[in-house]
Amino acid sequence: MRLSMDPKMLRSFVPLVLRSMLKPNVGDPLRPLAFRPAVHNYSFTKQRLFSVSAAVKSDTKSQAASNDSSSEVDQEGKRGGDEKLREELDKAVSDNAALLTQSREFEDKYKRALAETENLRTRLTKQISDSKLYAIQGFCKDITEISDILRLAIDSVPKDQVTKDNPHLKNLFDGLTMTESRLLQVFKSHGLAQINPVDEKFNPNEHEAVVQQAVEGKESGTVIFVTKLGYKLHDRVIRPAVVGVAK
Query: Is the Cβ–Cβ distance between 91 and 83 less than 8 Å?
Result: no
Task: Taking the CA atoms of 55, 57, 60 and 66 in sequence, report the sign of the dihedral they define.
Answer: negative
- pLDDT given at position 230: 94
Q: Are 176 and 153 in contact (CB under 8 A)?
A: yes
Has residue 87 got a pLDDT over 90?
Answer: no
pLDDT of 17 > 60? The answer is no
What is the amino acid identity at position 112? R
Mean pLDDT (the chain, rounded): 78
Question: What pTM was computed for the model?
Answer: 0.52
Q: What is the mean pLDDT of residues 112-120?
A: 93
Query: Taking the alpha carbons of 221, 222, 224, 229 in that order, is the dihedral positive or negative?
Result: positive
At 37 the pLDDT is 47
Q: Which CATH architecture has domain 134-246?
A: Roll (2.30)
Please give the Cα distance from 234 to 136 (Å, whole number). 11
CB count in 10 Å sphere of residue 218: 15
- Residue 137 · residue 236 · CB < 8 Å: yes
Q: What is the pLDDT of residue 35?
A: 43
Do residues 147 and 180 make contact, with C-beta atoms less than 8 angstroms apart?
Answer: yes
Compute the half-sphere exposure of residue 140: CA atoms within 13 Å on the CB side of its CA. Answer: 24
What is d(CA 214, CA 245) in angstroms, rounded to the nearest whole number?
Answer: 8
6-10, 24-28, 99-103, 216-220: range with highest mean pLDDT: 99-103
Whether residue 13 is predicted with pLDDT greater than 80 in this model: the reply is no
pLDDT at 236 over 70: yes
Q: Over range 173-190, report the average pLDDT.
A: 92
Longest dimension (CA), the chain: 203
Domains of the chain, by residue range, sit at: 71-133, 134-246
235 pLDDT above the threshold of 90: no
Residue 93 has pLDDT above 50, yes or no: yes
Mean pLDDT, range 49-59, rounded to an integer: 55
For 228, the enclosing helix (H) or strand (E) is strand 223-228
- pLDDT exceeds 90 at position 48: no
Centre a 10 Å sphere on the Cβ of residue 10 and count the other Cβ atoms it contains: 9
Residue predicted with more confidence, 31 or 204: 204
For the ranges 23-37, 99-113, 157-171, the one whose mean pLDDT is highest:
99-113
Q: Return the sign of the alpha-carbon dihedral for residues 44, 46, 51, 52.
A: positive
Residue 62 has pLDDT above 80, yes or no: no
